[in-house]
Amino acid sequence: MTSYTPSLAVALLATLATAGLVYPDCNKGPLKSNLVNAPGFQKLGLSAYQWWNEALHGVAHNRGITWGGNFNTATQFPQAITSGAAFDDDLVEQIGIAISTEARAFANSGRAHLDFWTPDVNPFRDPRWGRGHETPGEDALRNGRFAEAFIRGMQGTASTLRVIATCKHFAAYDLEATGSTTRFNFDAKVSTQDLAEYYLPPFQGCARDARAGSVMCSYNAVNGVPACANSYLMQTILRQHWNWTDQNQYIVSDCDAVYYLGNANGGHRYKSSYPQAIGAAFQAGTDNICWATGGTAPDPLAAFNQKQFTQANLDQMIVRQYQALIRAGYFDGSDGAYRNLGVSDVNTPRAQDLALKAAVEGTVLLKNDNLLPMNITGPGNTVAMIGFWASKADEMLGGYSGSPPFSHDPVWAAKQMGMTVNYATGPVVEENIDTSTAVAVAQKSKVIIYFGGIDNTVEKEGTDRTSISWPSGQLALIKKLAGLGKPVIVVKMGTHVDDTPILDLPNVKAIIWAGYPGQDGGTAVMQIITGAAAPAGRLPMTMYPADYANKASQTNMALRPSGSYPGRTYRWYQGAVFPFGHGLHYTNFTIAIGDFPFAFSIQALVNLCAEAYLDRCPFRTLPIVVTNTGSYTSDYVALAFVTGNYGPSPFPIKTLATYKRVFGVASGQSQNASLSWTLGSIARVDATGSRILYPGTYTLLIDQPTAANITFMLTGSEVMLDTWPQPDNGYG
Ligand SMILES: *[C@@H]1O[C@H](CO)[C@@H](O)[C@H](O)[C@H]1NC(C)=O
Ligand SMILES: *[C@@H]1O[C@H](CO)[C@@H](O)[C@H](O)[C@H]1NC(C)=O
Ligand SMILES: *[C@@H]1O[C@H](CO)[C@@H](O)[C@H](O)[C@H]1NC(C)=O
Ligand SMILES: *[C@@H]1O[C@H](CO)[C@@H](O)[C@H](O)[C@H]1NC(C)=O
Ligand SMILES: *[C@@H]1O[C@H](CO)[C@@H](O)[C@H](O)[C@H]1NC(C)=O
């Protein structure tokens, strides 16, 4: 890079521009005879560029994206919590390919840019979190593998990136607001062990292993230092320990995060002025400051003039951002890779099929008293469809949505299937609402399907819930419906509500969880109810009892229980209403484990490994035979948990080590599958955050509840797979 004027260059460090994408012309424009030395300069042929584009589950409505003309819709996949429940990495990669193909088509038409701030892979630690549904769930390994698959899909594996994807929110971000604590001032106190074992593995998968082009630092502070000024997180862990520097990847702040790390009201007050805050962010490794309408616009030039950051910082930040654009073919000209993608690549039949497939795969059957599947299509089979999302498709999308090409809600789907439907809406949060219409339509029907739970008006960005109970107005209606002497099916959307009060209602014979199933969610749910598709999704998060909200303070980041604090997630919390991994089928499976050696030498395993990071070393694949002993063809998700006697006491708790979705096991048939896993997934994380493979006796438990198990031994001496950098004096 040659010299340039800082005053112009610094403008590029903030996400301010609003114009649509204009590719530079390197053949005829001024760039032909100039080095790229000053971004955003019209005289060089570089137009303003908006880094802020969203696509968590489809191209979304936000600042960088201009909808309209032929581009007034884009495929809206299920939100990540539902895709997460499918436990199908290939599905996630295919969704990433479909989203980035559409995103690139928008960009090629000047309607979006090349950077997309997705995926959200923070583990869903607390059931009240308003953005938990944007994530694949509560498990660190699952979120890491989801992130890897999604990044592979979004960016592609070719030398030119289809788009640049962003792992967010780095790190330990999972709280919006509780009391006077908000995401803008929350200081998450996280032990080094919990950081390495739980909060960071999704980012390790996303950044270190899948090489995402960018990472977003979060609003919160971690152990006293705001994430966007946290050099331990951004330099020591992300850039040095994970080697995330080879392609000049860049870090962007969450929008207004740098404003709130300074002296802004309601923020961290970590610095006493905005220019100092900007300097702290840039010096700690942030390259781009996003500004939203909530905060004051950043003024990087003032910070530069006050010497809050250096010319060398500035050069590096600009290089990183433009390197990302170079990798995405921004300067490649109209014959560059992916420049041919256009409107005909948006809303393709294949993408529509994938959105439906994802919704079907991610739907979880929580309870079934021999009611489902149910043929309710014939004459005389009237079905009452009641509740707030029975006929309101937009509810199915969740946060960060775009406009779908169609919205197939359950009532629409039922009518397509030839059902005689009696519809009535119902409350979301309202208390004393008149439900007489709902009861009347139920009375004249043979079967009642209630569509409730919570939606994106209740759990949303900026807001956390205080209760994880069923909203009382809905519960009252379900009780009335259950009192009519007819079978009731409850189909839940949203994330956590405690099903305890409806589990024992005599006529509530089946409960289905659909999360945020996307544009074809109604079809997916009705296909499952009727048996046109078989349910095989698994809960990607613990269902806590309502009382959990009184026992665990939302600000307590600790995972392990202590005293009256109950701990978090399936690993540490006892007493779930339904555990992580719960999910029923229309059939029964038996699982057999194939030939697997009894003893392995740790040294041999490590010596045979060619991976740069030892935790990535493959372990011997585990062969299983899945036999369908029932009468419906069905997918089966093999979840494999590890436990045993190895390493220091107390011995390790049951932990997900790997999983695999097995497709279409026919009634009466068996299918072989092999589970791939790594040494890292059976290692333990010690108090210093290091990951160690111990000799000892290991037990692998297949399924939740356990359907098969195998014991094996690792012999020899322990091996350090990953020596975790300590937060020393250089912290922050
Ligand atoms: C459902 O029932 C109707 C009428 O009772 C019948 O015509 C139809 O074949 C049934 N469908 C299935 C899939 O069994
Ligand atoms: C599964 O097996 C149990 C016990 O053997 C049986 O009661 C149940 O009906 C079976 N379920 C299905 C769907 O075949
Ligand atoms: C399936 O696995 C079983 C047990 O490991 C093995 O005996 C059988 O040969 C395998 N079948 C196929 C088709 O690979
Ligand atoms: C990290 O990057 C450096 C320099 O690019 C390289 O020499 C080293 O092998 C990398 N380490 C790993 C584990 O990839
Ligand atoms: C493991 O399987 C054996 C039967 O093969 C059974 O006796 C034992 O209880 C199982 N252990 C666990 C922890 O499920």
Q: Which CATH class is domain 363-552?
A: alpha beta
- For the CA atoms of 121, 122, 124, 130, the dihedral, rounded to the nearest 10 degrees, stands at -100
Give burial (CB, 10 Å; 0-12/13-18/19+) of 195. Answer: buried
Residue 34: pLDDT band with limits 50, 70, 90: very low
| CA of 532, nearest ligand number | 1
For residue 499 the two structure tokens come to 């099903």
Pocket of ligand 3 (CB under 6 A): 594-595, 623, 625, 672
For residue 122 the two structure tokens come to 């923070």
> What's the 52 CA to ligand 1 centre distance in angstroms?
50
Amino acid 447: pLDDT: 97
Q: What is the pLDDT of residues 132-185, one digit of tens each?
A: 999 999 999 999 999 999 999 999 999 999 999 999 999 999 999 999 999 999
Residue 431: pLDDT band with limits 50, 70, 90: confident
Q: Give the pairing type, strands 289-290 and 14-15.
A: parallel
> What's the 97 CA to ligand 4 centre distance in angstroms?
28
- Is the pLDDT confidence value at 299 over 70? yes
Give burial (CB, 10 Å; 0-12/13-18/19+) of 432. Answer: exposed
Atom of ligand 3 nearest to the CA of 594: 5
- Is the pLDDT confidence value at 32 over 60? no
For residue 538 the two structure tokens come to 């698994």
How many C-alpha atoms does 410 have within 13 Å on its Cβ side? 34
Between CA 310 and CA 304 the distance in angstroms is 7
Pocket of ligand 1 (CB under 6 A): 375, 377-378
User: Residue 556: CB partners within 8 Å, gap ≥ 6?
Assistant: 565
Average pLDDT over residues 684-691: 97
Amino acid 19: pLDDT: 53
Contact 577/691 with Cβ under 8 angstroms? no
Minimum CA distance residue for ligand 1 atom 9: 378
Would you say the CB of residue 368 lies under 6 angstroms from ligand 2? no
Our mutation pick for probing the ligand 1 site, out of 372, 375, 528, 586, counting the most ligand atoms within 8 A of Cβ, is 375
Domain residue spans of the chain: 363-552, 589-722
* Residue in the block written with tokens 């995401």: 183
Average pLDDT over residues 694-700: 98
For residue 462 the two structure tokens come to 């900026």
Segment holding 420, helix H or strand E? strand 420-424
Mean pLDDT over each residue of the chain, to the nearest integer: 94
> What's the 368 CA to ligand 2 centre distance in angstroms?
11
In this structure, whether the domain defined by 589-722 belongs to CATH 3.30.420.40 is answered with no
Amino acid 730: pLDDT: 45
- Is the pLDDT confidence value at 35 over 50? no
- Is the pLDDT confidence value at 44 over 80? no
Minimum CA distance residue for ligand 2 atom 4: 588
The alpha helices in 462-505, defined as continuous H runs, are 472-482, 500-503
**Letter for the amino acid at 467?**
S
Pocket of ligand 5 (CB under 6 A): 701, 706, 709
Would you say the CB of residue 586 lies under 6 angstroms from ligand 2? yes
Q: What is the pLDDT of residues 259-293, one digit of tens each?
A: 999 999 999 999 999 999 999 999 999 999 999 98
What is the percent of the chain with per-residue pLDDT over 90, rounded to a whole number?
Answer: 89
> What's the 520 CA to ligand 1 centre distance in angstroms?
23
What is the percent of the chain with per-residue pLDDT over 70, rounded to a whole number?
Answer: 94
Minimum CA distance residue for ligand 5 atom 3: 709
Amino acid 298: pLDDT: 93
> What's the 153 CA to ligand 4 centre distance in angstroms?
24
Closest CA to 324 of 203, 209, 212: 212
Would you say the CB of residue 587 lies under 6 angstroms from ligand 2? yes
Q: What is the pLDDT of residues 350-364, one digit of tens each?
A: 999 999 999 999 999
Residue 4: pLDDT band with limits 50, 70, 90: very low
Angle in degrees, CA 64, 273, 229, rounded to 5: 60
- Is the pLDDT confidence value at 441 over 70? yes
Question: Which residues are annotated as catalytic?
Answer: 254
Average pLDDT over residues 683-707: 98
Q: Give the pairing type, strands 488-493 and 508-515.
A: parallel
Q: What percent of the chain is helix, strand and coil (3-state, nearest 5)? A: 30, 20, 50
Contact 85/124 with Cβ under 8 angstroms? no
Closest CA to 277 of 214, 190, 217: 217
Our mutation pick for probing the ligand 5 site, out of 591, 709, 711, 712, counting the most ligand atoms within 8 A of Cβ, is 709
Contact 114/155 with Cβ under 8 angstroms? no
List, in sequence order, every residue forming a beta bridge with 14; answer none if it has no partner. 289
Question: Is residue 311 classed as helix, strand or coil in its secondary structure?
Answer: helix
Amino acid 170: pLDDT: 98
* Residue in the block written with tokens 């089928």: 585
Contact 7/13 with Cβ under 8 angstroms? no
Amino acid 574: pLDDT: 95
Amino acid 432: pLDDT: 78
Minimum CA distance residue for ligand 3 atom 10: 672
> What's the 243 CA to ligand 4 centre distance in angstroms?
6
